[in-house]
Amino acid sequence: MSAQSSPSGKPIERYDVVVVGAGFAGMYMLHKLRGQGFSARVYEQGDGVGGTWYWNRYPGARCDVESMQYSYSFSDELQREWDWSERYAPQPEILKYANHVADRFDLRRDIQFDTSVVSAAFDERASTWSVTLSGGATVIAKFVVLATGCLSNARMPEIKGLDGFKGKVYHTGHWPHETVDFTGQRVGVIGTGSSGIQLVPVIAEQASHLTVFQRTANFAIPARNAALTEQERQSVRSRYPEIRHFARVESRNGIYTEMPDRGALDDGDSDRRAKYEARWNHGGLTFMSVYNNLALDQTANDTAADFVREKIAEIVENPETAKQLQPNNHPIGSKRICVDTEYFAAFNRPNVTLVDIKSSPIEEITVNAVRTGGRDHEVDALVLATGFDAMTGSVAKIELRGRNGQTLNQKWAEGPRTYLGLMSAGFPNLFVITGPGSPSVLSNMIVSIEQHVDWIADCVAYVRDRGLHAIEASTDAEDKWVAHVNEVAATTLYPQANSWYMGANVPGKPRIFMPYIGGVGPYRQICNDVATKGYEGFVMTGKEQPRKMAAS
Ligand SMILES: Cc1cc2nc3c(=O)[nH]c(=O)nc-3n(C[C@H](O)[C@H](O)[C@H](O)COP(=O)(O)OP(=O)(O)OC[C@H]3O[C@@H](n4cnc5c(N)ncnc54)[C@H](O)[C@@H]3O)c2cc1C
């Protein structure tokens, strides 16, 4: 860091890189940049590290990628010394892990908490970003990295009367730090995506009555969560080189699993059923890896979807409730598949009621009830499991001004446009981690985060080492990449669902399939090839000679 005085006499802090956000992406970005000799400053609006796991403290919150894979791989010591207690770690343990990483790598001294980045403007003459923080201070950085998270902008539903509700209202993505005890209360949960599916069985055990308001039934596969034994941990550790390599290079979603070599229709009914049954009993996200064409072929997909619908009917005792819980308006997997623990069984409890708000939408929230179809469902507390303005929401909240004064929001008005999901033309030296146009939310995100961080750190070092001023995506490369992202998505069943991948959960948001579905392994190869070819598709400006960073 270096400082010089502003006209008012106040020192202006200058860094090589400003990183926005201290979740898993921002933390590793900081560590990596330090290792490359850069000065970096991280700004985090919360008062601690961990991002997703700092904010989403709702009961039942846990990862849906197995912990021994949903963890950093950049440090072999770290992955050997940390003991995950369960197959899918609960939120407090993942947050503890994030804090451990911050301590172990001494990250906190370069993170400023309780500070939002409000805006950033590119100075074309100096090739630096002027970054404005909550509180009004401005810092200068040569590069800005947005590690703002894909699922970090909690979406409040617009429901008439919500403000006038007299009980407590909680959003899963903004849960209080203190324990919330629903014992003896009548609780309403609005939303049955991943968060809702995780919390319903837990709240059902506390509440005197739980009313679940469901607009869309979702597919969920049992987690089969269990404590990990030391032997199981050691077994994974001993295979880490193979597991991590597979997740990075060979997999499509960053998860170590067998690669299916058959399509669902290549097997007869009983073989197929046996395979689904085995995966259902094994539990977890890899259910979708039974066959290689479940995301591509509607008839194949139907076989998996029918299997899960049958399971729901077996578990849920009331046939009418079972029917309502059976997803029927999207292919299985076209929305992020949920991983549950006793979700469907929770509806067999006498204190749990399902209300279908697709056929009878919520009319309003009164002081003590949710009104649907002219009927009041009285509740003492409301839990909004209504998700996020995904992928672009947190980026859009920052006023980012690139070349010619254009803002990123103006540029992305019809939907996000990036080259490789990493940069957007007209916004030099500005990177996004797991941004739209990259595999991102379709993957084990820590795998994707590490890949982006490594790539960005190398790219920034390339610019520094050649004495260049700026790197920027070319419009041509960006156009081709956007076309490719759309083309690949169109070959799959994904765009058929009204999902948050498509921005469909946010009224007025352009309907564009945002993540890149070409697969984690192939995507990494593309990014590596681009770098090897001297950052093909990017435009560099400035002199080709080694020199000190302009911002240092
Ligand atoms: C409940 C839940 C469960 C999940 N489970 C899994 C899972 O099992 N597997 C998986 O792969 N992924 C999972 N995810 C996705 C998860 O978001 C990623 O795995 C990962 O944690 C993202 O890390 P990140 O650092 O990119 O973003 P985040 O963790 O979202 O961190 C971003 C940080 O940036 C901060 N920030 C944003 N804007 C600003 C600003 N303007 N100024 C300052 N700070 C800002 C935020 O406060 C936040 O702390 C889950 C998400 C949720 C919500």
Would you say the CB of residue 152 lies under 6 angstroms from ligand 1? yes
Would you say the CB of residue 312 lies under 6 angstroms from ligand 1? no
- pTM of the predicted model over 0.85: yes
Looking at residue 134, its pLDDT comes to 97
Protein residue with its CA nearest to atom 9 in ligand 1: 65
Taking each continuous run of H as one helix and of E as one strand, the counts in the chain are 16, 21
Question: From the CA of 150, how far away is ligand 1's center (Å)?
Answer: 6
Looking at residue 6, its pLDDT comes to 57
Q: What is the DSSP string of 515-543?
A: S--S-HHHHHHHHHHHHHTTSTTEEEEE-
Count of all residues that appear for the chain in the document? 552
Q: For every one of its 552 residues, what pLDDT tens digit does the chain have, with 9 covering 90 and above?
A: 555 555 556 778 999 999 999 999 999 999 999 999 999 999 999 999 999 999 999 999 999 999 999 999 999 999 999 999 999 999 999 999 999 999 999 999 999 999 999 999 999 999 999 999 999 999 999 999 999 999 999 989 999 999 999 999 999 999 999 999 999 999 999 999 999 999 999 999 999 999 999 999 999 999 999 999 999 999 999 999 999 999 999 999 999 998 889 999 999 999 999 999 999 999 999 899 999 999 999 999 999 999 999 999 999 999 999 999 999 999 999 988 999 999 999 999 999 999 999 999 999 999 999 999 999 999 999 999 999 999 999 999 999 999 999 999 999 999 999 999 999 999 999 999 999 999 999 999 999 999 999 999 999 999 999 999 999 999 999 999 999 999 999 999 998 888 888 888 888 888 888 999 999 999 999 999 999 999 999 999 997 544 444 443
Would you say the CB of residue 45 lies under 6 angstroms from ligand 1? yes
- Fill in the amino acid letter for 384: L
Would you say the CB of residue 197 lies under 6 angstroms from ligand 1? no
Looking at residue 3, its pLDDT comes to 53
Question: From the CA of 90, how far away is ligand 1's center (Å)?
Answer: 15
| Residue 218 vs residues 324, 326, 352: alpha-carbon distances, Å | 10, 7, 18
Atom of ligand 1 lying closest to residue 195 CA = 1
Question: From the CA of 445, how far away is ligand 1's center (Å)?
Answer: 9
Question: From the CA of 91, how far away is ligand 1's center (Å)?
Answer: 12
Do 438 and 513 meet the contact criterion of CB atoms below 8 Å apart?
Answer: no
Q: Tell me: the pLDDT tens digits for 82-123?
A: 999 999 999 999 999 999 999 999 999 999 999 999 999 999
Rounded-to-5 percentages of helix, strand, coil across the chain = 35, 20, 45
Whole-number Å distance between alpha carbons of 394 and 153? 5
Ligand 1 mutation target, pool 45, 52, 129, 505, most atoms within 8 A of CB: 52
Q: Which residues are paired to 211 by β-bridges?
A: 188, 353
DSSP state of 268: -
Whole-number Å distance between alpha carbons of 292 and 278? 16
**HEC secondary structure over 164-190:** HCCCEEEEHHHCCCCCCCCCCCEEEEE
Looking at residue 9, its pLDDT comes to 64
Would you say the CB of residue 151 lies under 6 angstroms from ligand 1? yes
Question: Tokens at residue 82, please?
Answer: 């940390």
Which residue's entry shows tokens 């590290």?
Answer: 49
Q: Burial code of 19-50, b = ≥16 C-beta within 10 A, e = fewer?
A: bbbbbbbbbbbbbbbbeeebbbbbbbbbebbb
